Chains A and B, each alone.
Chain A
Amino acid sequence: MDQSRIRNFSIIAHIDHGKSTLADRLLQRSGAISERQMREQTLDDMELERERGITIKASAVSVDMPVDGVSYMFNLIDTPGHVDFHYEVSRALAACDGALLVVDATQGVQAQTVANAYAAVENDLHIIPVVNKIDLPGARPEDTALEIEHVLGIPVDDVQFVSAKSGDGIEEMCRSIVKLIPPPSGDRAGHLQGLVFDAVYDEYRGVVCFTRISQGRIRKGQKILLMGRERQYVVTELGKMRPGRVVVDSLAAGEAGYFVASIKTLADVTVGDTVTDALNPAAEPMPGYDPPKQVVFCDFYPAGGEEYDELRDALSRLSLNDASFTFQPQSSDALGFGFRCGFLGLLHMDIVQERLERECGVDVVQTAPSVTYEAQLTSGEVVRVEAAGDLPSIDKIAELREPIIETQIITPAESVGSIMKLADQRRGIFKKQEYLSPQRVMLTYEFPFNEILYDFYDRLKSVTRGYGTMDYHVIGFRTSDLVKMDILVNGKAVDALSVILHRSTADRRGRKILTRLRQEIARHLFEIPLQAAIGSRVIARETIKPLRKNVTAKCYGGDVTRKRKLLEKQKAGKKRMKTIGNVDIPQKAFMAVLEPED
């Protein structure tokens, strides 16, 4: 199709503002999906996405869109709204010329609205603000438009008012897309150059790469070069997502689609790579992406112990589909061999763990997540510390630093006081306060990341009665009075339970962790002392009393088999636990360090 009739854009917004529903309306209007096949949030096709009602992965789709009697091709990407998946948004934006910034008319501008709008601006994209959900009784479309102008500096003239639910305003929005978003440029006669913005692993075809062609043309049978690893392949299949895969013979500059080229090794594709012609390669790869920065780490161990290989394969397969998590071999006294994994946030960690279990069928035992610290050694060297167990011995450390985030919190003005109190408890540093409107405020704070990692968002929601939203990003490391706290179970330090924390919080956290452990570890036949210690100094202790009574009296009318099976079951339950120093510790206990503060 002629480039002038192509539009490439992403749909971006705060969580739940209606991106996927808006994409539904576009799919419907194009006729890409029959009324019969239509369901809500069609592009959320992952089981987990449907269950949780959120978008986790960006989905690209190409649709024919008639606008005022002319047929256009819209290549659109529906993106996730949650802060953990911001990386998906940046990848999508790099493959587009414009963005629809959706804002819920009942909620107004929220934290991720701001973050995503800035990301679009950084990519030089034309932004069309779309005020959504105007059908709802509480909608304030005009106020929302003013907020967009006031906070983001996007002129109101271009604002579209729509209801992604009823379809109101979609017609007009399509006109603006055609009018305001520039068609792709790029010389179709030039050397092939395409950005691989996503990839999935397919059991039968190998790696399927999603690409946006920005110059030249890619054809079936063509010999291509992936510039990152300098590997050559032959294209065996080309196609577009409409939204199912539809095979085509070629994709030209301005178009988006997928290619398959019998790429077997997962490691040969990096998302952000450039595809070019092997014989007439482009001079330069495209800018690509900054690698995502994992900010949260935890260990995954195969639950059965023996399924190490399966876990490794599952992680590699998943990491191709989700370029934003990392893994490397790891081992622990307590848990054996496994992997240290890095994530963009806690939700991301949760999702990866669930996908591993569902899509790959492996059961994992997971340790509590931790942020990354930096240790400056006396030798001058600086090392990253992703878990307390990795901390070099104290006499080698000159200084410990913790990650600091900057956060934007958007809240009703009346909650500012309680947020400030909360921020104080979490060692927050106040930076800025701006009024979005007389009723709503944007606060900027700096926090040590570990103070907000676990439950800050829940606390924020509760002190703002559900109205507060936040976005954050890591801005660097800062020297801090950090200590390593060991947890001893029955006199033995359990490496998987150690934590790094600020000295001022150690006593409180230590007591909490022990209380939680006492609840998670079943009574044994002997007394189990639990201790939290910094170095050799014990700062908290608890005891799990020995089991007093465990005897089933009945002999079940001579049904000995039943009795034996009951005992066998009791024993099998024990096998799924990790035994450390004679104590059986269940998986849940390893999460004890997450015990929320109150």
Chain B
Amino acid sequence: MSEIVRSIYAHVPFCHTICGYCDFYSEVLDRNAVTPLVDALIAELDAYAVATSIAADTIFVGGGTPTTLPAVELRRLLTRLAQCANSEASLEFTSEANPATVTPEIADALVAGGVNRVSIGAQSFDKSELRVLERIHHPPQVAQTVATCRAAGVDAISLDLIFGVPGQSMNAWLSNLQAALALEPDHLSCYGLTYERGTPLFDQLATGVVTRVESELEAEMFEATIDTLAAHGFDQYEISNFAKPGRECRHNLRYWRNEPYLGIGPSAAGFVDGVRYKNVPDTAAYVRASRLGQSARISEERLDAAARSRETMMLELRLREGVARGRFADRFGADPAALFRDAINRHLSLGLLEVDAGAVRLTRAGQLVADSVIADFI
């Protein structure tokens, strides 16, 4: 008897241009590729619907930029996804969007397709920073996009921001935060810029065209973010994610709580029936496999309980609530505080972790070096 899947991720691998830091699988939009892609996405979902029991209460369309799709095709995809919803529960249905891609027509398609939450890739409100990141939009377009979405009836707005952009000062970052807050979003994701191998920005760093922001400054920016947003009523419920009460992204919480989800589309990752899989990161190959009735998966791994328990630590430690000892014990038959005693003690003494009756969690200092701490649980 397979477990019930309550979350779906769908990947739309198109953007108008590719940003210099981008490490997601995405291609420049090719209009002729759209219909075959949407057909293939729907076919993949259809196939899962037969074999798996799906009763979604979160759906997330990401990319790429889903809002590059023509309204008709976007709506066709969303409508099919919405059919997987669990009618007895409230649905969180998110679409990513980029400023300058959301026309009123697209916004209407989103809402008509069932979307009630839009996550906008604002990244920055500063022209020169946007240029370094090779983003195509202009600062004022973020506000316009927010307004368009709200006008169409979107319930929740989230903004993505990046700090630690080459050349950025603390003040510049704080003004970005203020500009974002002025738009009264329900949710904010604030990421430190990462230089991923294989991206143009990585090469620019290697060749000295851009310079990395001092790690001390980046740390201060991160701490300032937590404090500023707290002062404005945002809860840091995950290392990089902040929400007004009750406005947390339930979909992302699924990932962090290490619960199952379906992933469809090129490069999408999924976790179903204890198997982690990844689809081929190539649209043409994905569409071709779909036509031939073949699987789109390029890799699969089945984790044993021990590996799953370590992964749970890796994921849940990122949450402010931490690793819930009770839930962990129910799943893996042992208290995490006992299972990982050495690692926990080491970080307790360094002040990076805290443990109480309910949970094991990162301290503020621990959050700053979360990867180093978490690596000890893997």
- Please report A residues at the B interface, Cβ cutoff 8 Å: 525-526, 547-564, 567-568, 570-571
Contact = CB atoms under 8 A, between A and B. Distances in A.
B314 interface: yes
Nearest to A524: B372
Interface stretch (B75-83, B133-141, B216-224, B289-297): B216-224
Interface stretch (B144-152, B166-174, B265-273): B265-273
Nearest to B277: A561
A550 B368 CA distance: 6
Contact of B194 (A525, A552, A567): A552
A560 B315 contact: yes
> Chain B contact residues (Cβ within 8 angstroms of A): what range?
35 or more
A239 B235 CA distance: 84
A543 B276 CA distance: 43
Given A558-B255, A563-B314, A551 B368 contact: yes
Contacts of A556: 269
Given A557-B24, A557-B269, A550 B378 contact: no
B234 interface: no
A524 to B, nearest CB: 8
A557 B62 contact: yes
Contacts of B301: 561
B370 A557 contact: no
A190 to B, nearest CB: 70
Nearest to A547: B369
A18 B255 CA distance: 68
Closest 6 CB pairs of A and B: A553-B191, A553-B240, A559-B269, A549-B219, A551-B370, A548-B219
A564 B311 contact: yes
Contacts of B367: 551
Contact of A549 (B222, B258, B269): B222
B172 to A, nearest CB: 18
B255 A555 contact: yes
23 contacts: A525-B373, A547-B372, A548-B218, A549-B368, A549-B369, A551-B368, A553-B239, A553-B240, A557-B9, A557-B24, A557-B263, A558-B9, A558-B261, A558-B268, A560-B271, A561-B299, A562-B269, A564-B311, A564-B378, A567-B374, A567-B375, A568-B378, A571-B378
Counting chain B CB atoms within 10 Å of each CB, which of A556, A561, A570 scores highest?
A: A561
Nearest to A569: B375
A550 B192 CA distance: 10
Given A548-B219, A558-B255, A570 B375 contact: yes
A485 B9 CA distance: 60
Contacts of B231: none
B350 interface: yes
A570 B376 CA distance: 10
Interface in B189-223: 189-192, 194, 215-216, 218-219, 222
Nearest to B270: A558
B194 A549 contact: no
A561 B269 contact: yes
B278 A559 contact: yes
B371 A570 contact: yes
Nearest to A561: B276
B53 interface: no
Given A552-B192, A553-B194, A557-B24, 13 more contacts: A525-B369, A525-B372, A525-B373, A548-B218, A549-B222, A557-B269, A558-B9, A558-B263, A560-B255, A560-B276, A561-B276, A563-B314, A567-B374
A549 B219 CA distance: 6
Nearest to A526: B350
B215 A549 contact: yes
A562 B24 CA distance: 12
A551 B278 CA distance: 24
B86 interface: no
B128 interface: no
Contacts of B191: 553-554
A560 B318 CA distance: 13
A550 B374 CA distance: 10
B352 interface: yes
Given A549-B192, A549-B218, A558-B271, A564 B314 contact: yes
A571 B375 CA distance: 7
A567 B315 CA distance: 12
B252 interface: yes
A209 to B, nearest CB: 52
Nearest to B193: A553
Contacts of B373: 525
A549 B369 CA distance: 5
A554 to B, nearest CB: 6
B370 to A, nearest CB: 4
Nearest to B192: A553
B369 A550 contact: yes
B92 to A, nearest CB: 15
A553 B368 CA distance: 10
B11 interface: yes
B306 to A, nearest CB: 13
A560 B269 contact: yes
Contacts of B268: 557-558
B14 interface: no
Contacts of B9: 557-558
A556 B278 CA distance: 12
Nearest to A566: B371
A550 B11 CA distance: 28
A568 B303 CA distance: 15
A43 B11 CA distance: 61
B256 interface: yes
A526 B239 CA distance: 21
Contacts of B194: 552-554
A528 to B, nearest CB: 13
Contacts of B24: 557
Contacts of B278: 559, 561
Nearest to A571: B375
B193 to A, nearest CB: 9
B370 A550 contact: yes
A210 B368 CA distance: 65
Contact of A567 (B215, B218, B369, B378): B378
Contact of B369 (A551, A554, A555, A564): A551
Interface in B12-38: 24
A571 B215 CA distance: 21
Interface string B223-257: 00000000000000001100000000000100110
Interface in B333-378: 347, 350, 352, 367-375, 378
Nearest to A568: B378
B378 A557 contact: no
A572 to B, nearest CB: 10
Contacts of B261: 558
Contacts of A553: 189-192, 194, 239-240
A547 B378 CA distance: 20
A462 to B, nearest CB: 26
A550 B372 contact: yes
A22 to B, nearest CB: 44
Contacts of A561: 269, 276, 278, 299, 301
A568 B239 CA distance: 20
Interface string B38-69: 00000000000000000000000010000000
Contacts of A547: 369, 372
A491 B278 CA distance: 47
A562 B301 CA distance: 12
A560 B274 CA distance: 13
A550 B372 CA distance: 7
A551 B191 CA distance: 10
A562 B276 CA distance: 11
A59 B375 CA distance: 53
Nearest to B251: A558
B371 A552 contact: yes
A558 B252 CA distance: 8
Contacts of B62: 557
Nearest to B189: A553
Interface centre among B194, B239, B269, B368 (most CB of A within 10 A): B269
Interface-central residue, A552, A553, A564, by most chain B CB under 10 Å: A553
